[in-house]
Amino acid sequence: MPELPEVETIRCDLSAQILGIRIRAVQVLAVKSIGGGSKKFIATLVGSKFQQIDRIGKLLIFKINPKSYLLIHLKMTGQLIYRDQRQIILGGHSEPGKGEKRRIIGDLPNKSTRVIISLANNAKLYFNDQRRFGYLRLVDSLALEKIKAGFGPEPGQSAFNENFLVNLLASRSRNIKALLLDQKQVAGLGNIYADEALFLAGIRPDRPAGSLSLAEIKRLVKSAKELIKLAIKHRGTTFSDYRDASGRQGGFLTRLQVYGRRGQKCYRCGGIITKIKLAGRGTHFCPRCQK
């Protein structure tokens, strides 16, 4: 489940690998993944270069010319794997694997590969997506601006501050976790990091947003910022499908404080982590120290 730290890791890695390199060919193995119209999609991409890679929330934005952008959303099981010529020849097993976290995906394409972008340096970019929720879309600059305008600030940005959150939460009955998951309000947090941020701040996820005190809001701002920064530093969390652009797992899993820890002891107070359903999502928290 790639969230902001995972998508940022991919953005950063790919920026160092594919910028300025021409697209030689595009194979669309699943038309659904590009929303139909593969002829125009391929024609627009082939011959152009990746000029810049941006990100808003969990959405990757590849600039291919001043008015055309390729958007890639990984949703639940999407992967974007870069293989250079040597790795393709060796079948993806060329990385030695210094530690356990360096697990390699194996031969590509595989049964989850939906799109292959071949580059002029003989490298390939594979879009894999087992559950086909993710997508690639071409948009012009006007459409891109409209999409960007639909996102709230990210925890790492200065706009995500105490004043912002005070105004956002004021007189809202919705539970705080649902609000944090709403990309229109706050961009980038998904199920894992929403649970983690609330744990760090000591706030129950089912609290009505409007019931948070100023002190709690301050803690939430600080917790979310530190959490996202640390998760990016560790290259994100791999629970099942997430891989970085080189096919490696993220390093943050072992640093999670609550997510996936149902029935285990709280690292902070020794209470037992419980799991409930909230906003349609599995939600983990410590009933003892989260108030």
Partner DNA sequence: CCTTGTGTTCTCCG
Partner DNA sequence: CCGGAGAACACAAG
Query: Residues with catalytic annotation?
Result: 2-3, 58, 281
Number of residues that bind DNA (CB under 7 A): 28
Q: Which residues fall within 8 angstroms of residue 283, CB to CB, at 6 or more apart?
A: 177, 191, 195, 205, 206, 275, 276, 277
Of 45, 116, 119, 178, which one interacts with DNA (CB under 7 A)? 178
Of 17, 27, 110, 130, which one interacts with DNA (CB under 7 A)? 130
Scanning 18-26, 80-88, 173-181, 216-224 for contacts with DNA by CB under 7 A, the matching segment is 173-181
- Taking the least distance from each CB to DNA, the nearer of 30 and 46 is 30
Using alpha carbons, select from 129, 1, 14, 8 the residue that is nearest to residue 57.
8
Beta bridge partners of 23: 119
Our finding on whether 175 is near DNA (CB under 7 A) is: yes
φ and ψ at residue 114, rounded to 5 degrees: -110, -30
**Pair of tokens at residue 282:** 């599995």
Our finding on whether 58 is near DNA (CB under 7 A) is: yes
- Taking the least distance from each CB to DNA, the nearer of 1 and 232 is 1
What is the rounded CA–CA span in Å between residue 93 and residue 281? 36
Name the minimum Å distance from CB 130 to DNA: 5
What is the rounded CA–CA span in Å between residue 84 and residue 92? 9
> Which chain residues interact with DNA by CB under 7 A?
1, 3, 32, 57-59, 73, 75-76, 130-133, 172-175, 178, 181, 183, 190-192, 277, 279-282
